[in-house]
Amino acid sequence: VFQNMQTYECYFTNGTEKVRFVERYIYNRMQTWAMFDSDVGHFVGFTPFGEFNAKRWNSDPVIMENKRTTVDWYCRHNYELDAPFSVERR
């Protein structure tokens, strides 16, 4: 049995003042080949296959524009929906 998955994570510091988006590519429960971090601003590969894909994705301006704006259209948008359940709970 093999497992291949992607995770999308938003990290909020002080509400929506400082937001970080991380996309990870995972194979068999290990982050093995690539990730995108909005603080870094580009894809990073961890294996030869991941480096090949990261280089290809980093050279595509459409993909990079989409990933760099994900903080606004994905993270901040969903913060307003999730805040009553995650932030304001006692």
Domains in the chain, please, with CATH? Answer: 4-85 (3.10.320.10)
Give the pTM.
0.81
Q: 3-class DSSP state for residue 60?
A: coil
Distance CA 21, CA 38 (A): 5
Q: Cα torsion at 45, 35, 18, 80 (round to 10°)? A: 160
pLDDT in tens, the chain (90 residues): 788 899 999 988 887 788 899 999 888 877 778 999 999 999 999 989 889 999 999 999 999 999 999 998 888 888 777 666 666 655
Distance CA 42, CA 63 (A): 10
Distance CA 20, CA 28 (A): 25
What region, left, alpha or beta, does residue 23 occupy, with left being phi > 0 and alpha being psi -120 to 50 degrees?
beta
